[in-house]
Copies of this chain bind each other. A is one copy, B any other.
Amino acid sequence: MNDSYLKFVNSPFGARLARSLGLPKPEVLRRYRADRPEFDGLIAIGAGPAPRLFDALANLVASIGMTSVAHESAGLWVPLANRHGLMTGRFEPAEAGSAGKLAALLFDASGIEDSSQLEALHGFFHDTLRSLGKCGRIVVLGRPPEACATPRQWTAQRALEGLTRSLGKEARRGITANLVYVAEGAEHEVEATLRFFLSPRSAYVSGQVVRIAASATGMTGAVGKVGTAASASGASGTAGSHEAAAFDWRQPLAGRRALVTGAARGIGAAIADVLAAQGAHVIGLDIPSARDALDATIRQLHGTALAFDIAAPEAPAQLAAALDELGVDIVVHNAGITKDKTIAKMTGAAWQSVIDINLSAQERIDDALLAGGILRDGGRIVAVSSISGIAGNLGQTNYATSKAGVIGRVQSMAPQLRARGITINAVAPGFIETQMTAKIPLVIREAGRRMNSMSQGGQPVDVAQAIAWLAHPGSAGVTGQVVRVCGQSLIGA
């Protein structure tokens, strides 16, 4: 729970000592706080030839109220920004004293059709990266490679991954770098995702690749039985385009009911907390033995507590019955256990209970909630996977198998749920500071903490914020995906 090294090297004496010894100095990450502006400062805009997303980006910049500066690669930005009534200027490279002046770098690579055109990205990041401040944000935007018309275009768009992940590793200082592929027709569904990646809410999410498809339900995320139409209630003062839907960005989950499993403590409690802060009514579930902690967590949030064992055979029916009357809009499958042992020493019971609780129980519960229409159309499912499910891990054959299976669930169910406007995604936490990781032996814990671009572990709230983004009504175009919350951990597959 407690990274004392991080605190020490950010004290005046510790910083001096670390510098003289050449020790890593992890940045104190800026996280979202309700009492501070979420978006602030200068955002530099760059582009390759024929950028297709400028309209959407102008709407976004207007909506979040940042001031833009156009790099020379983005000549079309200035007149467009003027038409949108944005505060804008030109980026002057290599000015003395420009270091740290920028809060974000946004590059529209959507028009790049050939590998030779990638040099526009070099020009932009070469000029701007040193001017990006601590905990700054880098977002590269492209087209989904697999939907490109020619192999040359697919190749060039796919190449953006190598660049973005390298930028994340180079930038350090709490800076994140992510790549967002926007499908044709989805240009006006980008705001919820770009807000997340530009916000302090994504403090520990870096090196990720996210696709936004044109959603079946368009921008509202509200179809079928969703009566509360939260998506129509917000006000978007400055956004110029009539295509972009308006959300209440402060309370996007108002009127939504969210089930969170494993909600008593740790990451689950943080998820409940963040969803409630965004307006959701939280139904927290945990095992009967955690009832007191669950009640305490949920009482503060004015939610509903359910004490069930999700792995019990009767649990799906029991849960469906408990939720039937009011239904549910958001399901977060967070409950999970570990029973680590090398496979030669692992009992059949230890294997089976981990698979059952972490994976099979999710399958049974979703079947029950979907069959009964209890999870409403336009709903959101978010499952917690793990970096171990991606890369495998020593002593975790059962856990890694279950968490890889969660990825399969998300990939397999997304197309099936599309017609109902339901999205399903996974988050895969890396090293997160919890009671669980506090029990890891010191040397291994230190390695896990430092082997990422942030040189530190994440916080439960970081996982929770990523889940809230995926649960957002504006995330209708994001489905079937796995997003790591790992500070761009070195570890992967």
Q: Mark A250-268, 1 if CB is under 8 A from B, else 0.
A: 0000000000000000000
A91-128 with Cβ < 8 A to chain B: 114-116, 118-119, 121-123, 125-126
In the bound complex, CA of A167 to CA of B388 (Å): 12
Whether A158 is near chain B, meaning CB under 8 Å from some CB there, is yes
Which of chain B's residues have a CB closer than 8 A to the CB of A155?
359, 363, 405, 408-409, 412
Instruction: Give A359's nearest chain B residue, CB to CB.
Output: B115
The residue in chain B whose Cβ has the minimal distance to the Cβ of A342 is B170
Nearest to A350 among chain B residues (CB) is B122
Q: A residues 146-168 with Cβ under 8 Å of B?
A: 146, 148, 150-152, 154-168
Q: Check A465 for interface membership: any CB of B closer than 8 A.
A: no
Instruction: Say yes or no for A129: interface residue by CB 8 A criterion.
Output: yes
Identify which of A1-9, A284-292, A297-305, A396-404 touches chain B: A396-404
Which of A45-53, A197-205, A485-493 interfaces with chain B? A485-493
Q: Min CB distance, A449 to chain B, in Å?
A: 15
Chain A interface size band reads 35 or more
CB contact under 8 A between A401 and B169, given known A157-B408, A359-B115: no
Instruction: Report Cα–Cα, A413/B411, bound state, in Å.
Output: 24
A419 to chain B, nearest CB (A): 15
A356 in the interface, Cβ–Cβ < 8 Å? Answer: yes
Instruction: Give chain B residues whose Cβ lies under 8 Å from the Cβ of A214.
Output: none
| Known A119-B352, A122-B398, A343-B167; contact A162-B492, beta-carbon cutoff 8 A | no
CA–CA, A159 and B389, complex, Å: 8
Quick check: is A274 within 8 A (CB to CB) of the other chain?
no
Does any Cβ of B come within 8 Å of A130's Cβ? yes
Identify A343's interface contact among B125, B151, B389, B390, CB under 8 A.
Answer: B125
Asked whether, in the complex, the Cβ of A351 is within 8 Å of the Cβ of B391, the reply is no
CA gap between A493 and B488 in the complex, in Å: 8
Known: A155-B408, A155-B412, A355-B116. A162 touches B389 (CB 8 A): yes
Q: A116-B356, A155-B359 are in contact. List 11 more A-B contacts (CB 8 A).
A: A114-B360, A115-B405, A119-B351, A122-B352, A125-B343, A154-B411, A157-B408, A158-B407, A162-B401, A162-B405, A167-B343
17 chain-A/chain-B pairs, Cβ below 8 angstroms = A115-B402, A119-B352, A122-B343, A122-B352, A126-B346, A154-B411, A154-B412, A155-B412, A158-B407, A161-B392, A161-B493, A162-B404, A166-B396, A169-B392, A169-B394, A491-B492, A493-B493
